[in-house]
């Protein structure tokens, strides 16, 4: 399977962000990608009040979901759309939803379970739960017959979620993110490689990069990592894409030669 991760620097204008999404998805599809992953907040990165106003329903799609469906049909790809504000029962707290779509429509929706409530040493303070409803169910979708576990950003720090995805036959895990500069430079690659190694899975981690409204700054360094923990493709600075071939026969050999998943006792 040929896959791609897209790195963006999304701002607070949905229409402008979707123009860049279209351009990058077309670029990835032209390079033969069959599964393409967008970062968290790909369509909007701004104030919480404005986020509530752009929240959409999957069953009655607005411009964000309509664009995703159109791109999947046009390029005949599976598209994992990072995290976007999806309407919930609480209008003040939409879900942070990662949506997988293909040419036939919506494949799966994962609502971010672990919400980012932190005060960092550099002064960054984020209280995601104040304006976001948490999801509750792990999701493994199918892309071209391959199990794809879906996560969003802060979920990366919870290895028990990844174990649930592996138990549900995930061979790939997507980790769309908007990691802060502070946590990204110290933890992003370390955690991604650890999740790949301990679960012997491919990791697709598209990320936000650069400066955003309200003083936010994200780390970038979108990567594709193999089941041995090697980085096989990475985006450098700025917006861009990384493409790689996933070899599931190689994954089988890794799991057979070091059968740690079958050695689990807990």
pLDDT at residue number 93? 97
**Cβ contact 35:78 at 8 Å:** yes
Closest by CA to 246, choosing from 209, 207, 196, is 196
pLDDT bracket for residue 257 (50, 70, 90): very high
pLDDT tens readout for residues 139-149: 999 999 999 99
pLDDT bracket for residue 122 (50, 70, 90): confident
pLDDT tens readout for residues 176-206: 999 999 999 999 999 999 999 999 999 999 9
pLDDT bracket for residue 127 (50, 70, 90): confident
pLDDT of 124 above 90: no
Closest by CA to 35, choosing from 195, 241, 181, 238, is 241
Q: What is the mean pLDDT of residues 68-90?
A: 97
pLDDT at residue number 262? 95
Residue 91 structure tokens: 């209008």
The total number of structural domains that make up the chain: 1
pLDDT bracket for residue 219 (50, 70, 90): very high
- Please state whether beta strands 35-40 and 2-7 pair in parallel, antiparallel, or not at all (unpaired): parallel
pLDDT at residue number 126? 80
pLDDT of 234 above 90: yes
pLDDT of 91 above 90: yes
Closest by CA to 6, choosing from 32, 36, 47, is 36
What is d(CA 114, CA 40) in angstroms, rounded to the nearest whole number? 14
Burial class of residue 174 in the structure, from the number of CB atoms within 10 Å of its CB (0-12 exposed, 13-18 middle, 19+ buried)? buried
Q: What is the mean pLDDT of residues 14-38?
A: 98
pLDDT of 175 above 90: yes
Q: What is the mean pLDDT of residues 51-56?
A: 97
pLDDT of 136 above 90: yes
**Cβ contact 141:163 at 8 Å:** no
Place of tokens 């697709």: 204
Tell me how far CA of residue 127 lies from CA of 48, 114, 176, 222, in angstroms.
10, 12, 19, 24
Tell me how far CA of residue 166 lies from CA of 139, 188, 256, 260, 261, in angstroms.
11, 21, 15, 12, 9
pLDDT at residue number 125? 77
pLDDT at residue number 142? 98
Residue 171 structure tokens: 């061979």
The catalytic residues are 40, 112, 153
CATH number of the domain at 220, please.
Answer: 3.60.110.10
What is d(CA 36, CA 77) in angstroms, rounded to the nearest whole number? 7
What is d(CA 35, CA 28) in angstroms, rounded to the nearest whole number? 9
Please give the model's pTM, rounded to 2 decimal places.
0.96
pLDDT at residue number 120? 73
Q: What is the mean pLDDT of residues 109-122?
A: 89
pLDDT at residue number 121? 73
User: How many CB atoms sit inside 10 A of residue 234's CB?
Assistant: 18
Q: CA angle 245-24-207, nearest 5°?
A: 75
Task: Domain of residue 33: give its range.
Answer: 2-263
């Amino acid at each position: 399977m040929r896959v791609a991760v897209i790195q963006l620097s999304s701002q607070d204008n949905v229409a402008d962000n979707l123009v860049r999404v279209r351009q990058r998805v077309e670029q990835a599809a032209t390079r033969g990608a069959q599964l393409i992953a967008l970062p968290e907040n790909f369509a909007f990165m701004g104030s919480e009040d404005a986020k509530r106003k752009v929240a959409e329903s999957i069953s009655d799609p607005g411009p964000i979901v309509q664009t995703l469906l159109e791109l999947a049909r046009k390029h005949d790809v599976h598209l994992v759309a990072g995290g976007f504000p999806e309407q919930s029962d609480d209008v003040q707290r939409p879900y942070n939803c990662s949506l997988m779509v293909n040419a036939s429509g919506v494949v799966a929706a994962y609502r971010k379970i672990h919400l980012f409530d932190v005060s960092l040493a550099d002064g960054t303070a984020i209280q995601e739960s104040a304006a976001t409803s948490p999801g509750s169910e792990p999701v493994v979708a199918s892309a071209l017959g391959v199990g794809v576990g879906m996560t969003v950003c802060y979920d990366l720090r919870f290895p028990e979620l990844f174990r649930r995805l592996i138990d549900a036959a995930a061979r790939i895990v997507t980790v769309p993110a908007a990691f802060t500069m502070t946590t990204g430079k110290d933890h992003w690659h370390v955690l991604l490689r650890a999740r790949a190694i301990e679960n012997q899975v491919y990791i697709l981690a598209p990320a936000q990069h650069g400066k955003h409204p309200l003083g936010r700054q994200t780390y970038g360094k979108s990567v594709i990592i193999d089941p041995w923990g090697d980085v096989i493709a990475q985006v450098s600075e700025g917006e861009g894409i990384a493409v790689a071939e996933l070899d599931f026969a190689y994954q089988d050999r890794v799991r057979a030669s070091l059968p740690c998943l079958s050695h689990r006792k807990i």
